[in-house]
C-alpha cells in the first residue's frame, strides 16, 4: 500500500474508535452541554454591551469595539476589520481556541500509548510503515477534534442567529473562518499530543506529560500577553509576539484572523511546519523503539 493509503486507513480507524468509544461519547455530550451554556453566556454579554453602549446607534457600538480592540492589540487595521464581527461569536472563538488543547489531551493521550501498553500496535506495524501509523494517528485525532469544534461553532452560531446578533450570511462567513482558525491551531496541538503519547507505554503518564507540556506552553503565551499589555502605552502601535510565544499555538489566532493575507499564510505555514517537525521527531523516536 502507498503511505497515503496507510495514513487514511489508520486515521479512519482512529476516527471511528473515537466517535464510538465511551470516552468519546461522554466527552462529546459534556462538551456540547458546556458549549451551549457558554454560548448563552456569550450572547448575554453581547446583549448587555449593546444595551449599555448602543445608544440607538449601531455605528457607535462598532466604534467602541474598534477602540477597545485597538487598545488591546495595538493594531488599528486589525481592530477596524475585526470590530464588525459579532461580539458573541468572537468571545466564543477565544474560548474554543483556549479549550482546544484540553480536548486534544483528553481525546489523544492514549492514541499510541494505549496500544503500546497492550501490544496491539504490533498488529499495525507489520502492515503499515511506522511513520504512516503515527501520521494516521495524528490525522485521526485532528479530524476528531475538528468535528467536535465544528459542532461547537454550529451551536454557538445558531444561538447568536436566534438572538438576532448575526445574519445568516455573516454566520456563514465568520463561522467558517472561525472554525478554520481553530482547526489549524488544533493540528499543532494534536501533533504534540501524538508525539508525547508515542513516548510512553502507560496512558496515565502520557496524559500527565501532555497536560504538563500544554501548561508550560500556556504559561509562555500568558507571559507574552501580559508583557504586551504592560507595554501597550501607545494605541495604534502593533506589538509583536515575544520569541517564546511562537511555541504556543494559540498565540496565532490573531494572525489567522488578520485582514492581511500574508499574515494569515505566515501563521498557517508556521503552524503546519510546527506540526510537521513534531511528527518527524515522533516518527524518528517511534521508528527506533521496541514495541
Cβ neighbours for 269, distance < 8 A, ≥ 6 positions apart: none
Contact (CB, 8 A) for 105 and 207: yes
Contact (CB, 8 A) for 215 and 279: no
Cβ neighbours for 214, distance < 8 A, ≥ 6 positions apart: 101, 102, 105, 189, 192
Radius of gyration, CA atoms only, the chain: 21
Q: How far apart are CA 203 and CA 208, in angstroms?
A: 9
Q: Tell me, what's the pLDDT at 74?
A: 63
Contact (CB, 8 A) for 190 and 271: no
* Sequence spans of domains, the chain: 3-287
3-state helix, strand, coil in the chain (%, to 5): 80, 0, 20
DSSP designation for 246: G
Cβ neighbours for 215, distance < 8 A, ≥ 6 positions apart: none
Question: For residue 21, is it left (φ>0), alpha (ψ between -120 and 50) or beta?
Answer: beta
Centroid of chain to Cα 177: 13
Q: What is the DSSP string of 95-153?
A: HHHHHHHHHHHHHHTTTTHHHHHTTTHHHHHTTS-HHHHHHHHHHHHHHHHHHHHHHHH
Q: Tell me, what's the pLDDT at 56?
A: 47
Axis crossing angle, helix 130-162 with helix 87-108, rounded to the nearest 10 = 150
The contacts found for 126-130 with CB under 8 angstroms, 24 or more apart, are: 128/1, 128/6, 128/9, 128/10, 129/3, 129/6, 130/283, 130/286, 130/287
Cβ neighbours for 196, distance < 8 A, ≥ 6 positions apart: 109, 206, 209, 210, 213
Q: Tell me, what's the pLDDT at 236?
A: 45
Q: Which three cell numbers stand for residue 185?
A: 491551531
Q: Per-residue pLDDT tens, the chain, 291 aa: give them.
A: 787 888 888 888 888 887 777 777 777 777 878 777 887 777 777 777 666 655 445 666 667 677 767 666 666 677 777 777 777 788 888 888 888 899 899 888 888 888 888 777 777 666 778 888 889 999 999 999 998 899 888 888 888 888 777 788 888 888 888 899 999 999 999 999 999 998 888 889 999 999 999 999 888 887 777 776 666 555 444 456 677 777 889 888 888 888 888 888 999 999 999 999 999 988 888 887 766
Give which of 22, 173, 196 is closest to 101, Cα–Cα: 196
Axis crossing angle, helix 130-162 with helix 22-53, rounded to the nearest 10 = 40
Amino acid at each position: 500500500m502507498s503511505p497515503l493509503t496507510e495514513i487514511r486507513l489508520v486515521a479512519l480507524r482512529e476516527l471511528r474508535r473515537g466517535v464510538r468509544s465511551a470516552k468519546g461519547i461522554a466527552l462529546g455530550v459534556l462538551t456540547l452541554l458546556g458549549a451551549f451554556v457558554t454560548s448563552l453566556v456569550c450572547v448575554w454579554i453581547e446583549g448587555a454591551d449593546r444595551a449599555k453602549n448602543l445608544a440607538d446607534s449601531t455605528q457607535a457600538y462598532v466604534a467602541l469595539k474598534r477602540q477597545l480592540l485597538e487598545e488591546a492589540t495595538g493594531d488599528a487595521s486589525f481592530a477596524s476589520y475585526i470590530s464588525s464581527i459579532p461580539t458573541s461569536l468572537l468571545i466564543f472563538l477565544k474560548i474554543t481556541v483556549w479549550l482546544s488543547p484540553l480536548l486534544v489531551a483528553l481525546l489523544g493521550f492514549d492514541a499510541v500509548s494505549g496500544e503500546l501498553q497492550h501490544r496491539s500496535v504490533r498488529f499495525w506495524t507489520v502492515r503499515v510503515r511506522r511513520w504512516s501509523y503515527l501520521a494516521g494517528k495524528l490525522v485521526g485525532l485532528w479530524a476528531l477534534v475538528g468535528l467536535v469544534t465544528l459542532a461547537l461553532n454550529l451551536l454557538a452560531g445558531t444561538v447568536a442567529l436566534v438572538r438576532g446578533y448575526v445574519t445568516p450570511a455573516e454566520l456563514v462567513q465568520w463561522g467558517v473562518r472561525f472554525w478554520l482558525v481553530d482547526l489549524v491551531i488544533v493540528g499543532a496541538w494534536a501533533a504534540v499530543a501524538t508525539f508525547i503519547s508515542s513516548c510512553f507505554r502507560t496512558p496515565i503518564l502520557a496524559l500527565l506529560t501532555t497536560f504538563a507540556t500544554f501548561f508550560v506552553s500556556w504559561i509562555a503565551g500568558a507571559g507574552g500577553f501580559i508583557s504586551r499589555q504592560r507595554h501597550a502605552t501607545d494605541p495604534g502601535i502593533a506589538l509583536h509576539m515575544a520569541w517564546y510565544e511562537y511555541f504556543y499555538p494559540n498565540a496565532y489566532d490573531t494572525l489567522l484572523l488578520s485582514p492581511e493575507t500574508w499574515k494569515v499564510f505566515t501563521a498557517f505555514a508556521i503552524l503546519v511546519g510546527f506540526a510537521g517537525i513534531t511528527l518527524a521527531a515522533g516518527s524518528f523516536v517511534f521508528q527506533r523503539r521496541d514495541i
